[in-house]
Structure formats: C-alpha cells, structure tokens
Structure 1
C-alpha cells in the first residue's frame, strides 16, 4: 500500500482516474480575441508610422487662439446706393475694440464684366468729412498743404462729392465768395443742398470753421484764388492776388498761403484774372503746382482769352471751364432763368457748370431751382465729377 505524500496528514484519499482534458470553447475565443488585438495593434503602429512620414502639407489644422473672437461681418448695399457706389459690395467688420472696418469689393453686374472700384476714390465717409486724410497733407511755413498720397490718391478724388454714375444730364453749380460775409456764408450753408459746390475766398475769415460746417452737410469745396484783372491795380482783389509781372516764386508763395487756410478741398477756382489767365508764362507754374498736389483747376469762363485750357492739356492737369455766370443780374427771377438756360445747355452737351456768388438772391434762387430740377431728372453734382482728367 503506497503512501500519498500530497494527502493531508491523517487523511487517506481514494485514487481516481483523471479524465482527459479537452480544450475549452472560452479558451479558444480568448485566443482568437488576443490574436485580433495583436493584429489591430500592429496595424495602428503601421498607420502611425505612415502619418509621421507624411508631408506636412497633407493635413492642415486651423486652431484659433483661446481668447480670439470672431469679428461681426455685415453687408450694406443701401449705403452704397446712397453714396454713388452701387457697383460694389460693402462689408463692414466690427473689430474687438468696437471699431468698424469698411471694405468695398467689386460686384458683378448683369451683362457686364467685373466692376473695378477703388473705394478711396469715391469721397470720404460722411462721418469723417470734416477731418483731412493725413496721407494727403504736408507741413509747410503756410500751414498744411495738399499732396498726392503714397498710392497716388488725390484730394481731387478723396474730397469729391460722390454721384450716382447714372446716364443723364449733370449740372455743377459753384457758389463763391464764402467766408467774406459771416451772415452770407451762414445762409448759404444753411439753405443750399449738399449737391452745390462751395468756393471759399482765400482772403475770407473763419474759413476752418466754415469748412467743417460745409463738409458736414456734404458740400464739395474749392479755394477761390484772386488773380490779376485787366484794370489792376485800380481793381485790386487783395494781398494774395497773383500778378503776372511778379516772379513765379512769389506767386507760388501766395498760392500756398491761400492753400494753407483750410483742408478738405478738391481744387482751385479763379476770382477775376482777366489779365493773369491770358499770360501762359505766369499761369503755367501755377497750374503745374496745382496738378502736382492732386487738385483740379476750374476756370470760371469769364475770360475769352484764357490760356488755362491749353496749358492744362499740355501738362495733363485736371481742368474744367464754367459755362455761364448765373447771377450777372442780381434778381431772383433773372437767376432762375439763367439756371433754366444752364439746364438746356446740359441737355445739349450732357453736362454744364454754372458759377455764382453767395448773394441772398442767388442762394434763394439756387435752392429753389435745385429742388425743381431734381424732380425733372437733372442730377446736380460736385464739380470734380465734370473735370477733364487724363490721369484717371
């Protein structure tokens, strides 16, 4: 009788035949599962290796900064239509600090190619109309004078009154002499619509103040420069008068002194000048300086012998002629008749420019006539939109 060494002490265990073990189903499943996991692990390792070797251009991930905010974007077509920019899309973006950035981009028109528009060249935002574009100014002993911007932008474009761009009769009315009479200037600004162009006398008073009021109401502005008349010096327009016998340097000094009186104007218009305008040698340096500073020159058309057109064409200076003086007879009804003549002229040639002064009768007649003419489909525009400009 053998001894079972594995049996507990004092106990005897009966010998049993051990049955043959068979593979368990669960064990088989476990083996298969392990093999599957091993295969997946191997596949993942291969995939990771491929990703590490892939070019960085294969996958692009944009992750915004944690504190970034998405600017609010708004589109405003109504603003374009009212500012003569209906050929563009307007996109206004509100930035984090509350400022609004306005972007103009071309918009496709039916039946036409893309409309290319430089937003800067359609005048200022009305809210900024009293403030000059700093890129268009330089300091001088006479104050801040206009210059062309780094991108070629000119005061002629920056401060121009926008117009619709529609076909039809266009008329510009220029009222001069502003700044000479406080009450007359105030009445003109209060009663004349923004479509009328104002010319401030170089020898006027409080010009900076009047400039801001006029620009706030949407007026395009010129500086009215006194020039030597036929009967000078018996008829002396003032201390800044350009005189043909004086040196170009002296006349340019006077011009710059006048230019430094205000900002935000599109050009220069003569006051008198029957003799000076006919002297090509005297006039050429003046027109050249005006052109180089990004301004237009308006000849009031009173001198039949004026050389400004010929000189302006030769040096590519933006230039226009007045077609008629509307208040040669200082009577309201007579002025209204002249304005009707101006409209008939525009019907024949498409455009016309009328010149007047800030007399009470002129202001009253022009205010009435503009309202009536607009009802007849006449568009009154700033004079800058009617100049001959080969630089465009």
Structure 2
C-alpha cells in the first residue's frame, strides 16, 4: 500500500528512491568528551593518591656509592644503619666530587663533597664550609639556616680581613680613585673577563645569583681583587622591575628583610662589604633600611651606595653605626659608548683632584672593561692613585 501511494504521488516519469536510514551514535560528541575528561581526572587522582613520590615529580639525582671493606664490616652496636654517604669517605682523593643541592622553595644551597673524608662526614649538616674556600677565615663565619654568613670574632671584622692590600700611607698623600665593577657572578664569561683583564686594585661586586657564584668569587680573590656582595633591594617600579629572588622589600617586616639578607649573605664568602643592587625605593625608607644597615654593621661589613638614588638614607644610617661607607660619584658606563665612558672618566679624575677621592661604578660590559683597562694604565702619569674601595672608605673616614 505504501509503495502504491508513493507511485501515485511521485512526479510523472520519475522513480521514487527509498530513504536510507542514517546510523546514529547513542551519545553526543560533548558527552564523549566529558567521559574522557572524567577518566583522565580519575587516573590523575589515582596516581596522586597511591603513588609514593615524596618529591612531587621534581627532578632528582641519584649517586651510587660503593661501600669500602671497612664499611661492610660489622661494627659494635650493630642494628643502627650508618648514613649512606659515609662510604664515600674511603674514596681516593682524586675522585672527589662536589654536589650542590638547591632548595627550590628557599633558594638554600648546600655543597656536599663526595670522596673527601672530612667533608663527607659532614654531608648531612647545613652548609658545612667547603674545604676549597682558600683564604677564608673560619672564625669569621657563623651558621645560619641558609648557610655560613659573616660575623665579627676575636676582634676581627670581615671588612678588615678581606680588604685588598694597598699602600695606604701613599694614598693618604695623593688623589685616589676607587673603581667598582658590579653585576658579576651571573655570566661566567663576563665575570672572568673582569677578573683577569682588570688590575687587582679594581673592586669587584657580585650579585647573589648565578650557577656557581662561590667559585667565581674565589677566583676573583685568588687574583687579589677585593670583593663586595650586591644585595637586591626594591626599586620604585617594583614588581615591573624585579631585581630577583629574595629582594628586600618595603612591604616586609624588619625580621623578614633580615631573613632575606641572611640568604644573600650566605651565597658567597670573603667579601669586605655589601652594596645595594637597585633599591631606589628601599634605600630611601629609613624605617626599613635602618635594620639592614644595623645588621650589616654588626657583622663587620662596609657599605657602598651605588649613587643611583639621591634620596638614599644610607649615608646618615651608616654614620650612626660608625660603619665604613662610600657613595659612588659617577656611573661610568651609564651611556655605554667609548666616547661617553672616556668623558665620565675625565670627570672622575677632576673630582679626585678637587676633593682628594672619587668613586666610580661600572658594569662588566666588554666596552667598559676595555676602556677601564686602557685608562687605568695612564693614572700614574696623571698623579692619581687607583685604590681598592676599602682604602677609599678608610681615607674618607680619616679626612
């Protein structure tokens, strides 16, 4: 009956085609996507709940240590397991390796020496002083939760002990210039250039960042450079302009800023003083700057103000603490061209002759190092003495 009806209603001369039934899925695409997402979430929760991974997926390093015969032998009081790193104490001295462990949340660094008897036994302690810190007076180190930080001991101060050698009697009788090259520690190539191409009388300032600031700082001291530590402080346009992790901030309490200062102080050893790294807002605020200056003075350090903020409270605050102090008169490479650098160096000479002392700061740009190295060779003929920053600070204090 249906076919007859179709034939009667169809146009004359045309055959009708039967409609094909389309196959339909019992669910929609959105429903399928929802099911897949649900399965993924269930799998993720199962892994998180039932997988024993205390590192939360962070990359880890495993070191295989082969115990010596002595370690394998049973000892009295058996039953207590010895630390795994103890077996490394018998390794030949030529096989010594240093592993640096960095806490991702706090930035704390811990150097563990594998293969050295003394250091290996201390591997579990916080920031045990590395045996390679040549020339570091262990009496002037104090343990903090971040590592070793400077301290005054036996009447000795880091400012005095780590000041570079200089003829201070001669410096007292003639115009002197101190040059501080900063921003070191980040970028091994530029840091090495500054260390090797500039004479020992140039003071080098290290930031607390970089892959291995300790090694580079030790190399600088081995070349008889005096070194400073640059402490990142809050600029006016923070956080758009961020000096880096653990920056000292005006919004923090004095205790929090001191805690951050200790983190920075632990990054390298053997520095005579600290300097601000940025910090126009922070250095201008007496209430937050005073505890930092007081803490640094208590630890026997000097302070360099890089001169970038005319409102800095550092001169008055350091004077109140009888703290060695200097303020940079010129940023030598504010305009990093040969002509402008040479022009600024002439201004530095003029000021030194007028006032008896001048301080210039620069970064470790190749052009800056090149022009400084050439200019320094001419100073003797101009009747000006290049001195480390500590010598300039002491001369300023005696004038």
The reply to whether residue 138 of structure 1 matches residue 142 of structure 2 is yes
Cα distance in structure 2, aligned partners of 1:137 and 1:153 = 11
In terms of Rg, which structure is larger?
A: 1
- Which moves more between the two structures, 309-318 or 185-194? 309-318
SS at match of 1:302: coil
CA contact (8 A) 2:186 2:213 kept: no
Number of residue equivalences = 264
Aligned partner of 1:275 in structure 2 is 281
Map 1:282-321; keep pairs closer than 5 Å.
282-321=288-327
Aligned partner of 2:164 in structure 1 is 161
SS at match of 2:277: strand
CA contact (8 A) 1:295 1:318 kept: yes
Map 1:319-338; keep pairs closer than 5 Å.
319-338=325-344
1:384 CA displacement: 1.0
CA contact (8 A) 1:222 1:267 kept: yes
Return closer, same or farther for 1:286/1:359 CA change in 2, 3 Å cut-off.
same
Q: CA RMSD in A?
A: 1.9
Cα distance in structure 2, aligned partners of 1:357 and 1:238 = 17
Map 1:362-377; keep pairs closer than 5 Å.
362-377=368-383
The reply to whether residue 258 of structure 1 matches residue 253 of structure 2 is no
SS at match of 2:240: coil
Deviation sequence 1:2-40 (CA, Å, 0-9, x none): xxxxxxxxxxxxxxxxxxxxxxxxxxxxxxxxxxxxxxx
Map 1:25-44; keep pairs closer than 5 Å.
none
TM-score, structure 2 length as denominator? 0.64
Cα distance in structure 1, aligned partners of 2:249 and 2:200 = 34
1:374 CA displacement: 2.7
1:273 CA displacement: 0.7
Return closer, same or farther for 1:129/1:341 CA change in 2, 3 Å cut-off.
farther
CA contact (8 A) 1:129 1:215 kept: no
CA contact (8 A) 1:155 1:294 kept: yes
1:356 CA displacement: 0.6
CA contact (8 A) 1:309 1:319 kept: yes
1:233 CA displacement: 0.9
Cα distance in structure 1, aligned partners of 2:263 and 2:272 = 16
Give 2:346's match in structure 1, choosing from 328, 340, 345: 340
Map 1:170-189; keep pairs closer than 5 Å.
170-189=176-195
Give 1:215's match in structure 2, choosing from 213, 221, 233: 221
